[in-house]
Amino acid sequence: MSTEARAAHFPAADWDGGVFPYRVGHRKLGMWLFIVSDSLTFSALLIGYSYLRASNVWPTPFPFYPSIVFSSVMTFCLLSSSLTMVFAVSASSRGDRAKARKWILGTIFFGLAFLVLHLIEWNHLYSEGLRPFSLPADWVTRYAAPDGTLPSPLFGATFFTITGLHMFHVFTGAIYLAVVAARLNKLKHEDVEISGLYWHFVDLVWMFVFPLIYIMTVDIGAH
Amino acid sequence: MSGETHEAVHRHPAPTGFIRKYIFSLDHKVIGIQYIMLALVAVLVGMTMSVLMRMNLSWPGTNWPILGTLFPGGAPDGMMTPEFYLSLVTMHGTIMVFFVLTTAPQGGFGNYFLPIQIGAEDMAFPVLNMLSFWVTLVGFIVILSAIFFSGADSTVGPIGGWTGYAPLSALPNAGPGQGMGMDLWIISIAIFCVGSLLGALNFITTLLNMRTRGMSLMRMPLTCWAWFTTAVLALLSFPVLLGGGILLLLDRLAGTSFFIPGGLYLSGILSGTDERFPLHTGGSPILWQHLFWFFGHPEVYIAILPGMGATSHILSTFARKPVFGYRAMVFAIFAIGLLGFFVWGHHMFISGMSPYSAMTFSILTLSIGVPSAVKTFNWLGTLWGGRIRFTTAMLFAIGFVSLFVAGGITGLVLGQTSLDLPMHDTYFVTAHFHLVMGVASIFGMFAATYFWFPKMCGRLMNESLGKFHFWITFIGVYCIFVPMHTMGIVGMPRRFAQFTEYEYLKTLHPLVVFVSIAAIATVLAQIVFYFNLVWSIFKGKRAGENPWDATTLEWTTASPPPHDNFAGHLPVVYRGPYEFAVPGAANDFVMQTEPEVILQAVGSGREGTSGNGHDGHRH
Amino acid sequence: MSAHAEKHEHFAGSNKLFTSIWIWLVLLTVIEIVLAYRPMAIHFMLTILLGLSIIKAALIVAYFMHLKFERLSLILTIVPMLVICICLLFVFFPDSFRSHGLRYKFKETPPAPAAESH
Amino acid sequence: MGRALAVIIWILTLLSVSLFFVDKWWFPTAISSHAAALDRQFLITIIVVGVSFTAAQVGLGYMVWKYREDADRSRATYTHGSSKLEVIWTVVTAIIFIGLAVMGQSVWASLRFNDAPPGSYQVEVVGQQFQWNFHYPGTDKVFGRTEPNLIDDSALNFIGLDEADPNAKDDAVHTVLAIPAGRPVELLLRSKDVIHNIWVPQLRFKQDMVPGMVIRVHFTANTPGKYELACAELCGQLHFQMKSYLLVLPDDELGALTALPQDQFQTRMTELLAKYKLPAQN
Ligand code: HEA
Ligand code: HEA
Ligand code: CUA
Ligand SMILES: [Cu+2]
């Protein structure tokens, strides 16, 4: 076989070099890998939370209003932001930059709404007396186990840590999207898609944070 | 598609200014060298600490006037206090594991040679690459500063061992060494996690997406497989440590109690009864150990895999013979990487972990010895029937095999739950991990340095000095670390500032002194290495493109390679990486880029490319 | 060489599909919230919630993050890696459950209310 | 060069292996009943491991000696390996390693998978930074209540023993561990502050003492005598000084000791410590 014939022959298969085996560019693959990695940070925190919760008396203090209502609306915001984000990516794939920018701004709006609601919720809990290192005094008496074991102040610790880290991700995501929106004309479609990946990932994490932190901690007055 | 690949080419033109060229460089080669220099500095610090530790162990009460000036609290009047000794152990372990063995093999040599060996012009994300290095450097500066900061009372660094077990590390009031130094230690580790994680995703993307034409997976040099697997391990294990580190830092700074249980009583104060010791309750010290070792065990393979890769590569090159069982080697690397995630519990047998989990971990632990053994046998197979050229690089590679066997094999003792009862936290463990990590991995790096130095600097290192360095180091490390097994069997505990308290340890005194002397001699021999390194940069014999008659892509380009590695045209690969001694070929080595093998008369009509790595699974 | 055209990138899935996915996600969320107010054993609840979360995550990953439309090899690279690691983390739990029986029990004093410090 | 390397590898191997034959530097004589099986398992393992180590190093030396570059052959043997060999050595090592692993579980299982036999002699062990506290239940065999908020190091109530508790009346707390010979012992391990680890080399036994947990372990010691007891988990500044003694006493001697009230208990313990000698170095 001649040199050229051989060389031409090689790129045919995915894994033989000279091609992107996944048909995915560097940045997109890199973002996927980052997402894998970051998911593990969150997994470690959520597993740590579950570990501690399973070995302690855990308060279940969230009332329907404001906590559950707020967090549900927040979930709704994030889900909707994901929808607008796909629309943005979709528009960008059609080359419609104006639309794409509009949808990204919509995404940022929902993201910010999430942040604001979350901060209000934090503030509310803080004013109730919840701290990373202690529970409000009335929770302590209310959620003590029948045998007298006190509820764990780790509630506040895990709550603030996990939601805080998530909030940080939403915040950086919003900034990231703002940059993308601002520079949209100079960016390629793939860049928009990648920012979308990050944003959906933030949404995805919340899909675990919400049930584990909020739903599992609803005050149904069973005690 | 190749259109897209080419888009990536020339993304950054060769810089001209000094700063962009050598300091904030985007060139993977410069960044690789920066990583190696970081490791060379870090290892000096680590070695100095190890000598101080040995002096204190064998001649307690030695006076070090300079220590007295530098650390008035830790070594008043130059005499080392126990807490200072322990902070040295902590810093020694941390610096060696993180800033030497996670930087040089992967960030250093990997960065420099992975793109070249797969025929790429740079890493996939040059800017990220630069960031990884600078983040790591910041981590190093933070950890160095840790030893100068302390709680209010005395100047000692963190005391926690490189494992930082909570609640000791989580309680600022748990004695000297738990002050600000510990905060800095944790922060440094967290920073390091971020740097490594970014580096890892860069490596993976580069390797998957940027292989040149013809460089199929099974034609990659084993070094690339090793770096790739290492990167996957780093990508998946560092985030878990990062999570744990955040929690530990919060325990210290925000008063949370993730790792701190209730009812603690420290220095006369019950937790929660005094503002100096706020209320902590409900946390689990074992949770920290899980999070740490979930990272920690993959980490030790992160430290050794690149060394294994380099060893395979160099053994084959200088035995002038293809790697024995290339496929088996790849599978073994992969198996080690995968199983490496299943065994972390073997560090926790006696931690109060569930005894049933311990049993499972134990059996999985011994299983991981199998791929390691397969690698060892294949190394021997590679040497078998070779025509070995004893260059310094080869000597170190052979030394690697010897030391890896010596160290790995005691893992089979430690890995059994029952036998870990007497062995845990004794010098037997210290011996085990120094032989595999402290020296086998380091030997891998030495081999890599001697082997690739001509490519990086265009000049050969001095072979006579190199051989001298090898002999002293090889014999030296056996003398340092083999007697430690015996100490462990007698029952000498680790992390003891002095052995004077115990009668049953008295019989070991001669060994302790012997080890210290050997350590000092070995460390002194490293001066030769450093000298050789610096001297050869300026005065070494000029190396051509391919001084070792090697086959892989880095030897097809100039030494040192031009900014874009291949001066404009990417190579095309036609065969596997280790085509030495091909019967009938003109030379005893066939480059990967050589399209046709010129068969001489002897050739029995056999196609010279049977080593193309496909082993018949294609076509 | 499958030379890529510059302007029109392929992005599978219509806005209608995405909207219906979104509706599903919202529906599943509503189910979760309703579940919160049904008294049931905590294990049971946890299982259902995690099940629902995994479905939601899968929907997001598959459609919004477009993984379903990527090559199979990418899916096979990313998903097993993550799933194995997360499953491994569950090995922590036996120790959590065990610690109930092993806990050092003592009478805890309630903390002083609303600490102002820190 | 090749020969020199081979010889050095062989010499180092020989020296390394012979170090394991020095009696003086071996395990101290065991005193617990699980130790025999454990020592046997250790011996088997170390032999397997030693033989493999030697074989591998001798093999390595042989390759290096035999296949150094020479004039006889112009080329190395061209081979990419042998699937048959790969399979053989994978399977053989797998059998050896898994076999060792399975054998290594029996002592572990006997110590950890079941509770202490009924009637075991119980002692509560409370670690604290750089000091051991052993809490003896006394004749009623019931431990007095302990509370963290009763701990007062300056008043020498190191474990927070509640003097008001009737069960505590006959309890004794001492810094030395005394246990009966030939009877199962159950230790209740706790810690007041950070992780410690109780370790007596002669017992072939080690266990972390984790704050917040009561870890129950059991074993039987057979040979009366005095042994050094060490802390084997880094616990801070004076970790190396956190030392105590294990006294293994004949049953009657121990019975007499535990029947004593706290103050006489202390003096008697001091006498016993003086009476027994540390084992001679082997
Ligand atoms: C890479 C890891 C590494 C390396 C190289 C070393 C090297 C050495 N170590 Fe270390 N050590 C650890 C990792 C390492 N150690 C760890 C993790 C711990 C545990 C800490 C803890 O308990 O928490 C420990 C603990 C430890 C102890 C136990 C302390 C105790 O428990 O009380 C002792 C005691 O003697 C010791 C001694 C030494 C000596 C004498 C050397 C050396 O001086 C031997 C001679 C050195 C060399 C041969 C290396 C030369 C290398 C180069 C010059 C680099 C070249 C670089 C490139 C090619 C880029 N070490
Ligand atoms: C590079 C680093 C490295 C490597 C590769 C290994 C490899 C192995 N390690 Fe090690 N280990 C460490 C670094 C490393 N370790 C460190 C740093 C610690 C201490 C951490 C701390 O506490 O500070 C530690 C601690 C440690 C422990 C915990 C001890 C304790 O604290 O009580 C255990 C227990 O199972 C263990 C086991 C093993 C095993 C089974 C392997 C196996 O992978 C080894 C496999 C290799 C071989 C088996 C040799 C080659 C094979 C042959 C020649 C075949 C022929 C053999 C036969 C037929 C028998 N290691
Ligand atoms: Cu207690 Cu070490
Ligand atoms: Cu390990």
pLDDT digits (tens, 9 = 90+) for B504-526: 999 999 999 999 999 999 999 99
**Subunits in contact with chain D (3 or more CB pairs closer than 8 Å):** B, C
Distance, first Cα to last Cα, chain C? 63
Ligand 3 geometric centre to CA of B499 (Å): 14
The 8-class DSSP code of residue B325 comes to T
Task: Provide, as residue numbers in chain B, all residues whose Cβ is less than 8 Å from the Cβ of D27.
Answer: 422, 489-491
Q: What is the mean pLDDT of residues B74-91?
A: 86
pLDDT over 50 at A6, yes or no: no
* Residue-level pLDDT at B411: 94
Tokens at B347, concatenated = 């560090």
Residue B313 three-state SS: helix
Cα D58 to Cα B329, B392, D10, D51, D66: the distances in Å are 22, 21, 6, 10, 12
Q: Are B333 and B228 in contact (CB under 8 A)?
A: no
* Residue-level pLDDT at C116: 45
Q: Residue B2's pLDDT band (boundaries 50, 70, 90)?
A: very low
Distance from CA of A15 to the nearest CA of B (A): 6
The 8-class DSSP code of residue D156 comes to T
* Burial of residue D224 (number of CB atoms within 10 Å: 0-12, 13-18, 19+): middle
Q: Do A161 and B242 touch (CB under 8 A)?
A: no
Q: Residue D179's pLDDT band (boundaries 50, 70, 90)?
A: very high
Tokens at D172, concatenated = 């004794």
What pLDDT digit, counting tens, does each position of D96-116 carry?
999 999 998 999 999 999 999
Instruction: State how far the Cα of B75 lies from the Cα of C26, in Å rounded to an integer.
Output: 64
* Residue-level pLDDT at B180: 85
* Residue-level pLDDT at B614: 40
Query: What is the percent of chain B where pLDDT is above 70?
Result: 93
What pLDDT digit, counting tens, does each position of A27-51 carry?
999 999 999 999 999 999 999 999 9
What pLDDT digit, counting tens, does each position of B170-202 carry?
998 888 888 888 999 999 999 999 999 999 999
Mutate-to-test residue for ligand 1 from B33, B49, B96, B523, highest number of ligand atoms within 8 A of CB: B96
Q: Do C103 and D212 touch (CB under 8 A)?
A: yes
* Residue-level pLDDT at B600: 54
Of all ligands present, the nearest one to the C-alpha of B303 is 2
* Residue-level pLDDT at C107: 79
* Residue-level pLDDT at A221: 64
Q: Residue C85's pLDDT band (boundaries 50, 70, 90)?
A: very high
Q: Are B277 and B270 in contact (CB under 8 A)?
A: yes
Ligand 2 geometric centre to CA of B436 (Å): 7
Q: What is the mean pLDDT of residues D171-180?
A: 92
Q: Which residue of C has its CA nearest to D211?
A: C104
C54-63: b (≥16 Cβ within 10 Å) or e: eebbebbbbb
* Residue-level pLDDT at B588: 84
Nearest-5° angle of CA D267, CA D270, CA D276? 140
Q: Are D213 and D190 in contact (CB under 8 A)?
A: yes
Q: Residue C111's pLDDT band (boundaries 50, 70, 90)?
A: low
Of all ligands present, the nearest one to the C-alpha of D125 is 3
Q: Is B431 in the pocket of ligand 2 (CB under 6 A)?
A: no
Give the range among A15-19, A140-144, B214-218 with minimum mean pLDDT.
A15-19
- ipTM of this predicted complex? 0.94
Contact partners, residue D193, CB within 8 Å, separation at least 6: B167, B171, B174, B264, B265, B266, D127, D128, D129, D211, D235
Tokens at A6, concatenated = 């051989």
* DSSP letter for each residue of B553-586: GGGGS-SSPPTTSSTTS-----S-S--BS-TTBS
Q: What is the mean pLDDT of residues B543-556?
A: 92
Q: Is B95 in the pocket of ligand 1 (CB under 6 A)?
A: no
Question: Side chain identity at B422, as an amino acid letter?
Answer: P
What's the mean pLDDT when you consider all of chain B? 89
Instruction: State how far the Cα of B12 lies from the Cα of B567, in Å rounded to an integer.
Output: 14
What pLDDT digit, counting tens, does each position of A68-95 carry?
999 999 999 999 999 999 999 999 999 8
Q: Residue D154's pLDDT band (boundaries 50, 70, 90)?
A: confident
Q: What is the mean pLDDT of residues B27-50?
A: 95
User: How many other C-beta atoms lie within 10 A of the C-beta of residue D40?
Assistant: 12
* Phi, psi dihedral angles at B274 (to 5 degrees): -155, 145
What pLDDT digit, counting tens, does each position of B371-390 carry?
999 999 999 999 998 899 99
Q: Do B341 and C118 touch (CB under 8 A)?
A: no
* Residue-level pLDDT at A159: 95
Ligand 4 geometric centre to CA of B435 (Å): 14
Q: Which of A47, A79, A136 lies at the smallest CB-CB distance from C92?
A: A47
Q: Which residue has the higher pLDDT, A172 or D282?
A: A172
Q: Residue A223's pLDDT band (boundaries 50, 70, 90)?
A: very low
Instruction: State how far the Cα of B313 lies from the Cα of B452, in Å rounded to an integer.
Output: 11
Q: Is D235 in the pocket of ligand 3 (CB under 6 A)?
A: yes
pLDDT over 90 at D53, yes or no: yes
What pLDDT digit, counting tens, does each position of C45-71 carry?
999 999 999 999 999 999 999 888 888
* DSSP letter for each residue of B97-121: IIIITTIIIIIIIIHHHHHHHTT-S
What pLDDT digit, counting tens, does each position of D57-88 carry?
999 999 999 998 876 777 888 888 889 999 99
Residue B499 three-state SS: coil
Sign of the dihedral through C-alpha B591, B596, B597, B600: negative
Contact partners, residue D27, CB within 8 Å, separation at least 6: B422, B489, B490, B491, D39, D42, D201, D204
Ligand 4 geometric centre to CA of B420 (Å): 13
Ligand 3 geometric centre to CA of B159 (Å): 13
What pLDDT digit, counting tens, does each position of B116-172 carry?
999 999 999 999 999 999 999 999 999 998 887 654 455 578 889 999 998 999 998
pLDDT over 70 at A8, yes or no: no
Q: Is D192 in the pocket of ligand 3 (CB under 6 A)?
A: no
Mutate-to-test residue for ligand 2 from B95, B329, B346, highest number of ligand atoms within 8 A of CB: B346
Tokens at C69, concatenated = 């439309």
Q: Is B429 in the pocket of ligand 2 (CB under 6 A)?
A: yes
The protein residue with its alpha carbon nearest to ligand 3, atom 1, reads: D196
Q: Are D145 and D160 in contact (CB under 8 A)?
A: no
Q: What is the mean pLDDT of residues B246-256?
A: 93
Q: Which residue has the higher pLDDT, B428 or B7?
A: B428
Tokens at D141, concatenated = 């065999």
Of the candidates B458, B329, B450, the one whose C-alpha atom is nearest the C-alpha of residue B397 is B450
In a mutational test of the C interface, the residue from D115, D213, D217 whose CB has the highest number of chain C CBs within 10 Å is D213
Q: Do B283 and A52 touch (CB under 8 A)?
A: yes
Of the candidates D15, D93, A207, the one whose C-alpha atom is nearest the C-alpha of residue B377 is D93
Of the candidates A95, A160, A115, the one whose C-alpha atom is nearest the C-alpha of residue A133 is A160
Which residues 110-169 on chain D approach chain C with CB closer than 8 angstroms? 146-149
Q: Residue A10's pLDDT band (boundaries 50, 70, 90)?
A: very low
Contact partners, residue B401, CB within 8 Å, separation at least 6: B311, B315, B376, B379, B380, D60
Q: Are C2 and B3 in contact (CB under 8 A)?
A: no
Give the range among B21-25, B216-220, B538-542 with minimum mean pLDDT.
B21-25
Of all ligands present, the nearest one to the C-alpha of B432 is 2
Q: What is the mean pLDDT of residues B220-242?
A: 96
Containing C11, the helix (H) or strand (E) segment is none
* Residue-level pLDDT at C99: 84
* Residue-level pLDDT at C112: 56
What pLDDT digit, counting tens, does each position of B476-501 carry?
999 999 999 999 999 999 999 999 88
Tokens at B406, concatenated = 């010596």
Q: Do B294 and C3 touch (CB under 8 A)?
A: no
* Residue-level pLDDT at B610: 42
Nearest-5° angle of CA D196, CA D200, CA D203? 130
Containing B611, the helix (H) or strand (E) segment is none
Torsion angle defined by CA atoms of residues B182, B188, B194 and B197, in that order, rounded to the nearest 10 degrees: -100
Instruction: State how far the Cα of A126 lies from the Cα of A131, in Å rounded to an integer.
Output: 6
Of the candidates A125, A109, A145, the one whose C-alpha atom is nearest the C-alpha of residue A213 is A125
